[in-house]
Amino acid sequence: MHKLKRIINLIKKSFSLIKCALKQAIGTGFKKYPIILDKNCIKNSVKEKLSSMFLESTGYAPSIDYPVTFNEKIQWYKLYYRDPLMTKCNDKYNVREYIKEKVGEEYLVKILRGDKIDICTDDGCHRDESIMTCFKSMFPYLAPNFLYFIEDNSNVYKQLKLEFPQFEINNYGELTVVSNRNA
C-alpha cells in the first residue's frame, strides 16, 4: 500500500510540474485538467498491436527495436521508416505513375483494357465488411457469367444472400462461391 501511495504522489508531482510549465507557456486562461497527448504513447500502442498480430501469425514474439529476421525488419519499417516513396509504391495504382516516370509507360501492363472479369478470387482481408466492400467495388467489372470465390470466411454468404438475392450464392465451409444465375 505504501508503494502505491508513493507512485500516486510521484504522478501528482509530475502532473503539477507539467501544469506549471504549461501555465507559463500558455498564460492564465488554463483549464483545470489539460489534455496531454504523448506521441510516444501512440507509437507504443501501434507497436503493441503490431507485436500482437505478429505473434498471432508467426507463433513467436518479434524483436521490433532490434530486428534480426526479415519479418521483424518489415515490422520495424512499418513503425519507423518514413520515406514518401514507400507510400507511393505501396499503392498499386500510384506506383504506376512512378514506374512511368522512371522507366517508361511501355513497362506497364494494361489494366483490364475494358474487358470484364470472368473469375475472381477474394483471398484478401477475411472480415465480412471488407469482403462486402470488395465485392461491391468489383461488381461493375464482372462478366455476365462470372464466378466469384471468397476464401477463408464461413459467414459472409449470409450477408451476400441478403444484399444480392439475384445471384446464386453457395457456401462450402470456408469457401463461398457467387455466380450469376441469370446468365
With b meaning 16 or more CB within 10 Å and e meaning fewer, what string describes 52-64? eebeeeeeeebeb
pLDDT in tens, 103-160: 998 888 777 666 788 888 887 777 888 888 888 888 888 888 888 888 888 888 889 9
Instruction: Give pTM, 2 decimals.
Output: 0.43
Locus of grid cell 457469367: 145
Residues 71-86: pLDDT tens digits?
889 888 888 888 888 7
Digit-coded pLDDT (tens) for 46-102: 788 888 888 888 898 888 888 899 988 988 888 888 888 877 887 777 888 888 999
Phi-psi region of 104 (alpha: psi -120 to 50; beta: other; left: phi over 0): left
CA distances from 30 to 25, 38, 45, 146 (A): 10, 19, 29, 63
The torsion angle over the Cα atoms of residues 164, 129, 132 and 163, rounded to 10 degrees, is: 10
- Residue 125, C-alpha cell as written in the block: 482481408
